[in-house]
Amino acid sequence: MENLIGLKKLRENTNMYIAEVQKGKSFIVVRRSKPVFKLSPPDEEMEQWERVIDFTTVKKGGISIKDILSRL
């Protein structure tokens, strides 16, 4: 069963809901009694992201998006 939570309650307790989602629970977030979005753990397929590039290996601390976009 999915739990309904208010948007305000989610904002006030974000870390708690993150921990619950990491445990496998799902929540429907509502605003003014209408569903807005669903919080749920990622699918196994989504957890297998492919690393394309690690900008921290290019420059310590990474590269700013402005620098990247200016060179395109």
DSSP 59: S
* Contact predicate 17/37, CB 8 Å: no
Residue spans of the domains in the chain: they are 1-42
Sequence letter at residue 31: R
| Spatial CA neighbour of 36 closest among 26, 28, 44, 27 | 28
Looking at domain 1-42, its CATH architecture is 3-Layer(aba) Sandwich (3.40)
Return the beta strands (E) in 1-72 as ranges: 3-6, 27-31, 34-39
Q: When comparing pLDDT for 47 and 5, which is higher?
A: 5
Q: pTM of the predicted model, to two decimals?
A: 0.58
What are the tens digits of pLDDT across the range 13-53? 999 999 999 999 999 999 999 999 999 988 765 666 677 77
Q: What pLDDT score does 1 carry? A: 43
Please give the single-letter amino acid code of residue 44.
E
